[in-house]
Structure 1
Amino acid sequence: MRDFRWPPPPDGGPRTYGPGPSAPRTGRPALPEPETELVTTPHGVRLERLITGAGDPVTVFAHGLGGGIAVTRPLGSAVSGRRVFFQFRGHGRSDAPDGRWSYADLARDLRAIADLSRATRAVGVSLGAGALTRLLSESPERFDRAVFFLPAVLDQPRPAAARERLTALLEAVESGEAGTVAEAAAAELPPAVRNTPAGWAYLRQRIDQLMRDGLAAGLASLPDEVAVSDAASLGAVTARSLVIGCAGDDLHPLAVAEQLAAALPDATLQVYDRPGVLWTHRADLRARVSQFLNS
């Protein structure tokens, strides 16, 4: 039986137990993270930001719970114009204000970054999709186009699996042990890639980021929050929308994507047949997002 091991082998390749290929396998190292900046928002929370590309239109990218800029960047690789990536409160180098956080707070973060960069388009991933949903319920004409990738919450709290996954990750980061963090972060990878060069490269980058920046304890309450109290509040949204869901994903139930697409007046629903879309269908996903935003 082959299983996960940490620390990684000295030569960078995975090691497996039992019979199987034994030749050295080396993975390409993860690219160094680009230099980011801290910007002060009108509501007083400093947020970490990265801007790539040039010209118009401007698209803002909002990451998922416990994620960050590195996770959303692949979605923007073929998107034209300026691409604005940022870290929500409690992630990376962004501030972590005291008190309980809600999707209204996250929508405020997203709105501030979008306004500062004059973004007319937005992409939200998981938690970021929830923040985008809340923002559009409050300001239905704010964006021309919107992409919701793996929405996890609408008007009902997230499933227990999301709470358990986040709790495990927060406890691992709090322990300060790289091996414990690695075990928790490995759950983010599809089983088929956990012991591959690409999987190891992702884990190294993810662990470096989590050990360096940590995760704020305030994130623990977010799985109990809802994006909107009533999905009918989305009936006035004017943006053309693309909602991307996935069958069999316990953290991002397909029913949420279906309900969101039905609530938005001008939405297209795309459904993938298995979890791990960023790994199993990355090229197709990037093409769909870029074609929708660039057309």
Structure 2
Amino acid sequence: MRARFGPPPPDGGPRLQRVDRTGPRSGRPTLPGPATELVALPSGVRVEQLITGAGDPMTVFAHGLAGDIAGTRPLGSGVAGRRAFFHFRGHGRSDVPPGPWSFGDLAADLRGVADLTGAGRALGVSMGAGALCRLLAETPDRFERVVLYLPAPLDGRRPAAAAQRLRRLLASVESGEAAMIADAVEAELPAAVRNTPAGWSYLRQRVEQLQRDGLSAELESLWSAPAVPDVSLLRAFRGRALVIGCLGDEIHPSSWAAQLAELLGADLQIYDRPTVLWTNRQELRDRVSTFLNA
């Protein structure tokens, strides 16, 4: 088993961070995040989870590759009821079981959280959308409403930019140097956001989280096989779906968003430029909440 890059998180208590004077100077420290918990899934894997909101319905949110709970929460800010956010294996404080891993394993993580929380709705981002598609191919009646945000290709073939991004991020986390991690993370920000208060806040939070929790190298093994071996199985889904893509996003081609929308009989929204969570956040949140709250 390849180890998680970065310090392994303890089961409880304060987590120590290494001193690194190469990190970005930001002035104000980041605020502590909300308290999460470790929950054991039927598979035996423990995942880090956060429940917010009150009442019904329950919606589960699945983050993207190398993402985290904090980065997914804005998509659920207007969603009614309770919201379950979690870290897939190899992310955050979640377990790092022996690899190699598959999208079937990620679908099992997602299914485990959904079953434990009673979620009838789901949102998946990029890799999380792939895991959600795998779950729907296996059990098309599991969710009544789903949102696929920036779905990545499901055929096991990654764009070169996606593979390069992951390799660079894993190398930076393995180095343990905040400046190197910040360089890797900053490349994901739109140019207009860099060197702004919002950009620095995001950068600080991500650097601190990756230094604290690390990131598993086993994530590279996910693309050894298609996320969904037979995408035609998605036609059996009878719930409501919304697929959201962007033009100009080489990691998440809009052609895949259109293909998934056709397979699922889904509503399709294609934005005219990438990084829409930064450039058109309020409209995106309203679109997601309007769909899930209906």
- TM-score normalized by the length of structure 1: 0.90
1:153 maps to 2:169: no
* Kept after mapping to 2: 8 A contact 1:63/1:128: yes
TM-superposition CA deviations, 1:184-219 (whole Å, max 9, x none): 011111111111111001000000000000001101
TM-superposition CA deviations, 1:207-232 (whole Å, max 9, x none): 00000000011011224442211211
Provide the rounded CA distance (Å) in 1 between the counterparts of 2:202 and 2:255.
29
The within-5 A match list for 1:89-104 is: 89-104=89-104
Letter in 2 for 1:137: A
* Kept after mapping to 1: 8 A contact 2:59/2:122: yes
- TM-score normalized by the length of structure 2: 0.90
TM-superposition CA deviations, 1:115-163 (whole Å, max 9, x none): 0000000000000000000000000000000000000122342211111
Larger-gyration structure (1/2)? 1
* Kept after mapping to 2: 8 A contact 1:163/1:223: no
Letter in 2 for 1:187: A
SS at match of 2:236: coil
Q: Which residue of 2 aligns with 1:8?
A: 24
Letter in 2 for 1:239: G
TM-superposition CA deviations, 1:32-79 (whole Å, max 9, x none): 211100000000000000000011100000000000101110000010
Q: Report the identity percentage.
A: 64
Provide the rounded CA distance (Å) in 2 between the counterparts of 1:273 and 1:232.
28
Provide the rounded CA distance (Å) in 2 between the counterparts of 1:152 and 1:129.
7
Q: Which residue of 1 aligns with 2:234?
A: 234
Letter in 2 for 1:278: L
The answer for unaligned runs of 5 or more in structure 1 is 1-5, 13-28
The within-5 A match list for 1:1-295 is: 7-9=23-25, 11=27, 30-264=30-264, 266-295=265-294
* Kept after mapping to 1: 8 A contact 2:152/2:251: yes
Provide the rounded CA distance (Å) in 2 between the counterparts of 1:211 and 1:11.
19
* Kept after mapping to 2: 8 A contact 1:30/1:202: no
Number of aligned positions between the proteins: 273
Letter in 2 for 1:281: N
Is the alpha carbon distance of 1:74 and 1:136 closer, same or farther for their aligned partners in structure 2, counting shifts above 3 Å?
A: same
Is the alpha carbon distance of 1:183 and 1:140 closer, same or farther for their aligned partners in structure 2, counting shifts above 3 Å?
A: same
- Residue 11 (structure 1) shift: 4.0
Task: Give the root-mean-square deviation of aligned CA atoms.
Answer: 1.3
The answer for unaligned runs of 5 or more in structure 2 is 1-21
Provide the rounded CA distance (Å) in 2 between the counterparts of 1:200 and 1:240.
37
Provide the rounded CA distance (Å) in 2 between the counterparts of 1:154 and 1:248.
19
Give every structure 1 segment of 4 or more consecutive aligned residues whose post-TM-superposition deviation is greater than 6 Å.
Answer: none
